[in-house]
Structure 1
Amino acid sequence: MKKEEIIIDNTTGFVKGSYRLGSFIIKALWLQLLTVCYTLKGCLLLGLFPSITTSFRLVHQNFKEDLTAKELRQKFKHYYQETFKESNQVGYILTVLGLFLVIDLKVSSIYIQSVMLHMLLLVFFIGYLGVCLFIFPVIARYQLTTQQYLKQAFLLFLASPVETIAIVIALSLLGIIWTACPILLFIASIPMVTGVILWFSKQGILRSERKHLSNE
């Protein structure tokens, strides 16, 4: 049993709740700081996607196992190095694809002005945004190839309309919270966004896994 768990078990009521809250805040601050530091360590271009991927993996793991702040630091370094190549591959494939779709939408609306083409591009763009929402939860849960990550994220998006809407609403609410309390944007925005996306996407992932097992 961890030292923190022993301390919590020996306390009750308000003290116990305060300890858990304090521990959560410390870990959120650490995750925010580690994500920023490792992003800068990779000179932004090479550090951004591995840092985001690592944040999702650690929050996903914390759902199953209450990590200490020390474990958080150690595992961040390990996961960052472990996922450096694959997360950059996925991240920059999505970046290039997103730029391509945005340019196509601009060209379609200004020059081509075809309603059918524009609607088709919008459908593709919505699918692209869906993949972006689910790609990091998929990477956090599975060990796949780059192509399989993208495919799984797209299938999960199609199979999880309720969860997708919930994520969009929750992220909008976070925007309101940050507007009311801007300090949270700087000290805890990464764990807040990561936690929201993982919480709702996990429901869709578990449902898909149960369906897959029942079909076997």
Structure 2
Amino acid sequence: MSGGAYGILRIPEWILKFAYLTVLWVIFSMAGLIAFGVFPATAALMAIQRQWLKKDADVSVLANFIHYYKKNFVKSNLVGYLWGTIVFTLYVYFQLIQLLDGPLYTFTFYGLVVTTLLSVLTAAYSFAVLVHFELPLFYVIKNAFLIMIVSPLTSVMIVSGCVILFFVFRHHPGLLVIFGPSVFTFLVLFSSYLAFLHIEKKQERQFMHTVKKVRSE
């Protein structure tokens, strides 16, 4: 059987896997009473998807989900509530600027739109960095912001992908229930993974260039 035909035959399997991850995400979010469960469940979901991207597709999903849920419970909640507080604060500012008018309103409004977009993107990268690297909380946020800045193409991929998914799920809400969390997180993780690989290759090229320069001296 050719590789292409084999890949097509695995499509139903991957559909079931994504649906299964969504079910686990819901269950473990509820296990943490939603407020303390949704961020660890999201981190665990992305950690499983990271294993898939690294070709570990046959790992025990449930066992690993539980492992990453516990492992990242505290840190993921800190990251999630930090960005949740920032986004809520920006929402309050959006409400307050309704009292303004004229050029001041326009300038403030677009400034908040840009700030909100950068904050949401950094928050998305934060969870990808959290499951990909073993870093303290401060460096998770710092590296997420830097990766967002130096990877404009992957940031555009995340934004455009989310817009497409929004319209797809808007017209097919049943798909949102079954695949929503797992598809959105996979979009973020896959885009972030491309950014990580690009940065690693760039660092390797810089290192080799430095080595060659030293040898030539």
Q: TM-score, normalised by structure 2?
A: 0.83
Letter in 1 for 2:142: K
Distance 1:162 1:34, change over 3 A: same
- Which AA in structure 1 matches 2:152? P
Deviation at 1:202, TM superposition (A): 1.7
CA drift at 1:38: 0.1
Aligned residue in 1 for 2:81: 92
Cα RMSD for the two superposed structures: 2.4
Q: Between Structure 1 and Structure 2, how many residues are aligned?
A: 205
**Mapped partners of 2:206, 2:158: distance in 1:** 28
The equivalent of 1:104 in structure 2 is 93
The aligned counterpart of 1:3 is none
Identity percentage of aligned residues: 24
Alignment partner, residue 29 of structure 1? 19
From the superposition, tell whether residues 215 and 26 of structure 1 become closer, same or farther in structure 2 (CA, over 3 Å): same
1:154 and 2:157 aligned: no
Shift of 1:50: 0.2
Q: What amino acid maps onto 2:76 in structure 1? A: S
Q: Give the drift of 1:17.
A: 4.3
The Cα of 1:132 is off from its aligned counterpart by 2.0
Contact 1:105–1:121 (CA<8 Å) still a contact in 2? yes
1:52 to 26, 38, 42: 42
Q: TM-score, normalised by structure 1?
A: 0.84
Aligned to 1:187: 178
Gap change, CA 1:19 and 1:122, over 3 Å in 2: closer
Residues 113-139 of structure 1: CA distance to partner in whole angstroms, max 9, x if unpaired? 735555544443232122123111111
* 3-state SS in 1 of match to 2:83: helix
SS of 2:35 mapped into structure 1: coil
Per the alignment, residue 4 of structure 1 pairs with none
Question: Which shifted more, 24-33 or 39-48?
Answer: 24-33
1:164, distance to aligned residue in structure 2 (A): 1.2
